[in-house]
Amino acid sequence: MDFGTHLLSGIILAYILTDFNSWMWVLIIIFALLPDLIGELFYQIGRITKGYKIKLIYDQEITSSSLYLKNSKYMIPYNFLHSLLAIGLLYIFSLPFELIIAYAIHIVLDLVSHSRDSWGIMIFWPFNKKRFGPKKNWWEWKFLKNTSVFYFNLITYIITIIIFLILKFFLNKF
């Protein structure tokens, strides 16, 4: 999923799991973004080593980049951070469960929105390199064709804000 949706999921989790009196809420948001913050940094470096420019807009070239970077060492951080192994290590090192939840939700969002043919999550990496996920990446979904990714984001943001408001109503925290 895109950066903005991961960010919003982090904000919602921070709202549910903390009272904003500690810095835990900042850490929750960071952990909701962490697999991409580090993974995509190395991915961009990998692009440069192959002679491609840094790219932040999702398109067909981004889809095919997963193929020409398939065996690149620059994809190791991304693959590792998007695996059960990473979640397991957070657990082994006894990180607070709020952070593990935020991290795991990032992986779940990517699992259902990344194509099994290109960017699909290899959840059992490095033991098994099978990719899971739908037929197409979220930026290639049918209803997105000929429309801007902006509208997709608008929809996911509206959905997450509605979830946030429903939670606010039921938890009545403030």
- Which residues form the interface with Zn ion (CB under 5 A)? 35-36, 110
As measured in angstroms, the least distance from the Cβ of 23 to Zn ion is: 24
Of 3 and 68, which CB lies nearer to Zn ion in the complex structure?
3
- The rounded distance, in Å, linking the Cα atoms of 133 and 45 is 25
- CA dihedral defined by 31, 10, 114, 100, rounded to 10 degrees? 40
Please state the closest distance from residue 37 (CB atom) to Zn ion, in A.
9
Shortest distance (Å) from residue 135 CB to Zn ion: 19
First to last CA, the chain: 30
Let me know: does 123 contact 83? Beta carbons within 8 Å: yes
- Of the pair 36, 98, the CB lying nearest Zn ion is at 36
Tokens representing 109 are 């969002």
From the CB of 84, what's the least distance to Zn ion, in Å? 14
Contact status, residue 137 vs residue 115, Cβ threshold 8 Å: yes
Helix axes 3-17, 97-111, angle to 10 degrees: 150
Residue number with CB closer to Zn ion (19 or 59): 59
**Smaller CB distance to Zn ion: residue 1 or 27?**
1
